Every structure is written in C-alpha cells, then in structure tokens.
Amino acid sequence: MNTDSEYGGSTYQEYAEIVHSIFRWFTEDRLPIGSIVSQLASCRIPSPSGNLYWSKAQIAKLLKNRSYIGETLIKFKASQEQVELPDATPAIIDKQVFCLSLGSIADQ
C-alpha cells in the first residue's frame, strides 16, 4: 500500500488517526454520530472526499467498514458472490472495537 497517497487531503497515517479518533469517540466516549460530525467540524477535519463537513451517513458507513479490521471483500456483480482478499488491507482498528461499534450503531 502506498502510504503517501491522499485521503481527503490527508496522508494514510493521518487518515488512520482520524479513523481511530472516530471509533474512540463512538465506542469509548459514547458520542452519538451527530456529535462526531460536530467534533470533526470543530477540529476542521475534512471528509475523505475533501468536503469541509462529514455527513452522518459517512460516519455510519465508516463505522461499519470491515476494511478497517483488515478484511477486504470483492463482490462479483454477475453472481453476487463475495470473495475475501487476505492481507489486502492493513488492519487499523481492533476487531473487538469494531464489533463494539456495530452493536452501538444498532442501538442508535
């Protein structure tokens, strides 16, 4: 993976730190998604697409994205089959934290 590539104006390492913060705010601090959106805006952290503001949908999608625990799935359109590509994505979030976030999303 190219760690110098851009993620909404951030390097991969900076983006990983943002992802860690979002998971921490959601699972440890128990901030609702709307408050995370506000927190990111107050910190002037742009979305991955470079927008000044994140949407609640972007945060919810991020919190459910299995690539952050190192799982990469490829979905084939014709068959709807999904195949995991082992070691294609480095894990940046602990699986236990990820599972905790999924449970918290279900509660919101």
- Are 72 and 51 in contact by the 8 Å Cβ rule? The answer is no
Condensed to tens digits (0 to 9), the pLDDT of residues 45-76 reads 999 888 989 999 999 999 999 999 999 888 88
Q: How is the chain split into domains, by residue range?
A: 12-107
- Identify the DSSP state of 5: S
Residue 49 is encoded by which pair of tokens?
A: 């697409």
For residue 83, what pLDDT is reported? 87
Token reading at 99:
């599972």
Residue linked to tokens 């999303």: 105
Any idea which fold 12-107 has? Hect, E3 ligase catalytic domain fold (3.90.1750)
Find the mean pLDDT for residues 3-21.
Answer: 74
Distances (CA, A) of 10 to 2, 77, 82, 101: 13, 32, 30, 24
User: Is residue 85 pLDDT above 60, yes or no?
Assistant: yes
What pTM was computed for the model? Answer: 0.81
Which residue(s) pair with 83 in the sheet? 74
Backbone angles phi, psi at 4, to 5 degrees: -95, -5
